[in-house]
Structure 1
Amino acid sequence: MTYSFWILFYIQTILFAASDVPYLPQGTTQFTRSNDAPVTADAIVAEVNRYRVEKGLAPLKILPFANEMAQQHSSAMALRKVPFSHKGFEQRIERIQKKESRFIERSAENVAYGYLTVNDLVAGWIRSNGHRKNIEGASFNYTGVGIATNENGVLYYTQIFLSLQE
């Protein structure tokens, strides 16, 4: 009996270790690939704007330099140069403000990873109170989005929200 138990335990351990299921921290969800349209920054902005318009809010305009800053952050997270976090957010906003030569009244940032479709990504943000608050920020008028993939094919996302003086 003991011998059989250890053989089964050993086989189960090998099978589990050989599976390609990535480790996901508690509170995250893994999604499977689908035939949805490719995940692009423009598609994310379009889906966020669709949601905003449904809520009676103005759509966000894309700020190209905010896209660059969001892209740099997503790439840094995917390459593990920074942890999955908002680390460096204040510096990103300062750089945007300096580049645009306009006062940023308010700013926020959403980050995520592991989502494989735009709909799943935006739905995940909407289910989270803090992320939804950023998406629904009535004073926000500009946004920037960046997407990067790590060596295992996991997607990392950053969306910056800005209230930029016109």
Structure 2
Amino acid sequence: MLKNTRVKSSLTKVLPFFGGVVLTTAAILGGSLVTYSSSDSVSDSLITLSPKPVNAASDVAAMEKSVHRQINQYRKKQGLKPLKLNSKISKIARQHSKKMADKQVAFGHNGVSSRYNKISKVVEYRGVAENVAYNMGYDNPGKNAVKGWIKSSGHRRNIKGKYQVTGIGVAKNSEGEYYFTQLFVNPQ
């Protein structure tokens, strides 16, 4: 049983993965694309989560709602307003999660500029950011993705950011891997 997962990420390489949670994030800040990974601190990040069997009846639509609820619960504890879920932005997030799950693109932020462009056709924005995660072997993959994001400074920065709207997409592949994409938008 895997007890610790060392998290490393890059926008240009495929990450080795042997169970657990892998996280990465990107944001447009001041017109520049900024990326963070779970290891963007001075010390190496180590996320410790205990894998459990995945419930085969997990419903990804319910998981998306659960992720949204958990993110808003965290924001409320931080004294922040809840993020409004936008179905069109969720569709963009879901498409990216599906492409990662189907191995059409590597896990990460490949194509992030294209997703941000699609968002601009839904709503004009001042700022936009993206968190992604994937995991397998957990009885509650959504809870573990959110927990991992909150433990990571770059992901937490997006969650606590001055965003008002979000889109969340989850996809599961035949290997039982869950892929998560959360988009954050600050409309004009």
Q: Any conservation in 2 of the 1:109–1:134 contact (CA below 8 Å)?
A: yes
How far apart in 2 are the matches of 1:89 and 1:83? 12
Identical pairs, percent: 36
**1:131–1:97 distance in 2 versus 1, CA, 3 Å:** same
Look at both structures and tell me which one has the larger radius of gyration over its CA atoms.
Answer: 1
Q: Which runs of 4+ in 1 moved over 3 A?
A: 24-30
The structure carrying a bigger strand percent of its residues is 2
Which residue of the partner structure matches residue 124 of structure 1?
A: 148
Which residue of the partner structure matches residue 74 of structure 2?
A: 51
Which residue of the partner structure matches residue 38 of structure 2?
A: none
For these two proteins, the number of residue pairs brought into alignment is 140
1:108 matched to 2:129? yes
1:23 matched to 2:18? yes
How far apart in 1 are the matches of 2:145 and 2:110? 21
TM-score after normalising by structure 2: 0.68
* DSSP 3-state at the match of 1:50: helix
* DSSP 3-state at the match of 1:53: helix
1:68 matched to 2:91? yes
**1:154–1:74 distance in 2 versus 1, CA, 3 Å:** same
How far apart in 2 are the matches of 1:125 and 1:154? 17
Give the deviation of 1:40 after TM superposition: 1.3
Q: Tell me which amino acid in the other structure corresponds to 1:105.
A: R
Q: Any conservation in 2 of the 1:77–1:156 contact (CA below 8 Å)?
A: yes
1:91 matched to 2:83? no
RMSD: 2.3
The structure carrying a bigger helix percent of its residues is 1
Which residue of the partner structure matches residue 187 of structure 2?
A: 164
Which residue of the partner structure matches residue 33 of structure 1?
A: 53
Which residue of the partner structure matches residue 140 of structure 1?
A: 163
* DSSP 3-state at the match of 1:58: coil
Q: Any conservation in 2 of the 1:104–1:164 contact (CA below 8 Å)?
A: yes
How far apart in 1 are the matches of 2:132 and 2:185? 15
How far apart in 2 are the matches of 1:95 and 1:114? 26
